[in-house]
Amino acid sequence: MKRLLRKDFLETIRIVHAGQKRISAEMAGPLAEHAADDALTPREIEVLHLVAAGAANKEIAARLSISEETVKGQMKSIRQTRR
| Pair 44, 77: CB distance under 8 Å | yes
| Pair 53, 14: CB distance under 8 Å | no
DSSP string, 41-64: PHHHHHHHHHHHTT--HHHHHHHH
pTM higher than 0.75 for the full model?
A: no
In order of start, what are the domains of the chain with their CATH numbers?
6-79 (1.10.10)
How many angstroms separate the Cα of 42 from the Cα of each of 1, 67, 74? Answer: 22, 17, 11
pLDDT in tens, 9-54: 777 778 778 877 655 666 566 666 666 666 788 898 899 888 888 8
Give the model's pLDDT for residue 7. Answer: 72
Neighbour count for residue 16 (Cβ, 10 Å): 14
